[in-house]
Every structure is written in structure tokens, then in C-alpha cells.
Amino acid sequence: MSFSRYPKYKDSGVAWLGEVPEHWTLSRIKHCLSFTTGWTPPTGDSASYLGDNLWANISDLGEKVIYDTSKRISDLAAVSSRIAHSPKGSLLFSFKLSIGQVSFAGEEMFTNEAIATFQESKTIFLGYCYFSFPIFIPKNAAENIYGALLLNQELIRTAFVVVPPFAEQTCIAAFLDRETAKIDGLIAEQQRLIDLLKEKRQAVISHAVTKGLNPQAPMKPSGIEWLGDVPAHWTVISIKWISPVKRGASPRPIDDPVYFDEDGEYAWVRIADVSACDGTLTETTQQMSKLGSSLSVKIQPGELFVSIAGTVGKPCISTIKACIHDGFVYFPRLQLDRRFLFRIFEAGTCYGGLGKWGTQLNLNTDTIGSIRVAVPPADEIERLLAFVDQEISVIDMLTAEADRAISLLTERRTALISAAVTGQIDVRDLASRGDAEHAEEQPVSVFPLRASAPPREPVQQVPG
């Protein structure tokens, strides 16, 4: 689809924004909208503040409309804090941590202090702001010493936004609502495909490491729920009889710079490094000093280790010299092809019923060592691994293609919104044409697009 531009433009006076349509108005948020922020109960009194009222946190935002929240707050909390509520239809905007998340309140609720509530819900202006806020307001954010964006109430109030006439707000919101819904539908299809491919991948691996490749092979009961029947010539054995299971270690305190050296021989492995890799560790963000590595557990290239905290149960084979902490276990004398054990852990079914619940699921050396696996003869393991590699390479290729499609669609969505709300494209005719084309379809609208009252008229000349 090609887009035309407006007939005339003017310099907005804002460097990142550049030119905007001549008849659009540049205004600061404080001159056209007001907002309130929420509150979080003191940690020590948290029990007395639990209740039945919806209480939105940043993690709740992201969906177009939120009807429920992960936490609830009591009447006592609302009264004692004197926090303003967010009426149904309010626009909720996160300005801390996940800066720029926007949702409409599908029910009356309260929020925490990281969310700004805009309550002018009976105008089309909030429908327009739903799309424009994530573009405009973060551009006015400050940066901390680490380069992370920082917003506060004053920066929001003084943020510039360009405001089209009311009729154009309606067109822009309707156009973007319809077009982004199409893109979101395509993204959802790709995500469903990825989910199916993931299930297929796990099924291929799980079947191979429990049933083998010969469907005619005689079977025997393993006596283990996750294994079921296994080939009669395979050996069922606990991992601890294949290798001791040892835990990593780390120097204390781990944030002491004396334990790190960017030129160090051994990399320092964190849970985040393993979570981010595909099961083959090729690099980390930190290197250990000679002292630091002497107080940790060293892993050599080709060795297998498994996370037992955080991303629980994820296996990894290192291609580099590395040190692991006590959030990992390793197998110092493994009498089995480590790639086969890697595939068993990767399938994930061996963890059924294991671990202890605290703040998060954790495994330990005993639970890992007690896992019983079915081991084929060595020559069969080679054939089995070759088959699995071939099958999942195809699945991984299809998954990568779907991921690329999602990335391209997401970029397209962002670019379309940015162009429309900054006036780089003129969608007035497209919006009306779309209304006619979709007149027989169930309408999809930005909640709560109501045009019962015009928005406040923004000032034409804005003081600095």
C-alpha cells in the first residue's frame, strides 16, 4: 500500500520531529491533557492492603484493553493513600522500567506509581494518544549514566505532541486501529506456527531419546512415568551412576571487581548467558580474573552443564573455557555421549515431578542425579543423534523464518504508527475508504473511541 503526503508542511521546531502538516498544532501534554499517578503500599504492611480492587502494575500493561490485574488492593489502601482511581476507559501509560507501554482500563481500577492515568475518556483524543504516546513521550525522556531512559511526571507534562484537528484524530485512530489489527493478526499466526514448531521439536527429541528410531524394536516397561516403554535392549539407569553430579561455585561477594578481568582466561557464566543462548555457549559478557576463577568451578570446551535455578533445567555445552556458579550442575566423569544427555534435558520431560518450590523452582544435585534415563548402545546413540540433528535443523530453520517474519511485521507496525501520528503520511482518504470497505464486517475499534465531546482545544502558541 502506498501513502500520499499532506499538501503543506511546516517546521515543528522539534529536532527529532522535523516537519509536520501545516494545519497541525504543536502542544505540550500539560496544555491538552492532565493525568494522575498511582501508589504502592509499604512492603511491611502489604498484607493489610490486599483486597478486591483491581490494581494495575507495569506487567499488566501491553494488551489494548485490560480487564483484570495480577494483583488486587483493598479499600483501606485506596482510602489511606488517597490515590485517585482510574475510571473505566482511562488511558494507562507506563513511564518507569517498561517505558511506553499503553493500555485502556476495561474496568475501574487503581494503579501503582509507575503508571500515569489520563482520564479524558469520552473523546477521540485518547484513541489518538493510544498510538502517539509511545512515539512522542519517550523522545522527551532523560538518560541515566547507563543509557537507560528515565521519565518522570514533569517530563511527561512538558513533552511535546502534535495534535491534528478532531476529525483527523478520528481518521488516524480508525486507520491505525484497522491496519494494526491486520498486522497483529499476521504476527499471531506466525507466533502460533512457532509454538507448533516448538512442540514438534520437543516431540521429535523426546521420542528419539525414549523410543529410538526402530518402530519394530521389542519394548519393555521402564517403570518410569516419563520414559514409559523403552526398547528392550536399552539400559535404564540413574544419571548419578553415569557420572557424579557436582555443583558450581562462585567467589563472594560476586560483585567485587577483584574477581573479574576483561583479559581473563575463563568466562563467567550467568543464568542470563545460558537463557540467551541456543544451548551452545560461545561467549559471555564477563571474564574472570585468575583469583576469581580459582574460587569458582572451571568448565572446559565441550563440557555439559545444566541450570538449576532461574531458567530451570536448561542444558548447555560450552565451546569456551568458562566458570560456573552454584546455579548450575555439571558432570565431571560422564560415561555417556554428552550430546545424548543434552537432548534428554532439552526435551524437558525428565523433570516431571522434580524440584522444590520456594520463590522459584529449583533443582539440586540429588534430584538431577536421581533422574533415570534409558541408554542405547553407543553405535545406536550416534545414529540417533544424527537423525535428531537432521530433523530439528529443518524445524529450527522454519522457526527462524517465522521469527524474521515477526520482526519485519513489528517493524512495519511501528513505522506505520510513527508515520501516521507525525503526519508523514495522509490517511484521511484511506480511513474513509476503509470504513466503506469494511462496512459489512464486525468493527474493530480502539477502546473507547467515543466522539461525544470534542477534545480540549490545544493552544496555538505554546510557551517554553
Domains contained in the chain, CATH given: 234-375 (3.90.220.20)
pTM for the model stands at 0.77
273-283 pLDDT tens trace: 998 888 999 99
Please report, rounded to a whole number, the percentage of residues in the chain having pLDDT higher than 90: 51
> For strand 246-247 and strand 356-357, is the pairing parallel, antiparallel, or unpaired?
unpaired
At 139, the amino acid letter reads: K
Cβ–Cβ < 8 Å for 248, 309: no
Q: What is the mean pLDDT of residues 176-195?
A: 95
pLDDT at 79 over 80: no
Quickly count: other Cβ atoms within 10 Å of residue 380's Cβ.
18
pLDDT at 348: 86
pLDDT at 354 over 90: no
pLDDT at 350: 87
Cβ–Cβ < 8 Å for 440, 5: no
pLDDT at 1 over 90: no
State how far the Cα of 269 lies from the Cα of 281, in Å rounded to an integer.
Answer: 9
372: left (phi over 0), alpha (psi -120 to 50) or beta: beta
Helix H or strand E segment including 392: helix 378-421
Q: Is 61 helix (H, G, I), strand (E, B) or coil?
A: strand
pLDDT at 138: 85
Q: What is the mean pLDDT of the chain?
A: 85
* Segment of 14-18, 150-154, 333-337, 383-387 carrying the highest mean pLDDT: 383-387
State how far the Cα of 205 lies from the Cα of 212, in Å rounded to an integer.
Answer: 10
Q: Any bridge partners for residue 220, and if so which?
A: 230
pLDDT at 309: 81
Cis peptide before 448 (omega within 30 of 0): yes
DSSP state of 179: H
- Tell me the pLDDT band of 435, cut-offs 50, 70 and 90: low
pLDDT at 254 over 90: no
Cα dihedral across residues 430, 435, 436, 442: positive or negative: positive
pLDDT at 442 over 70: no
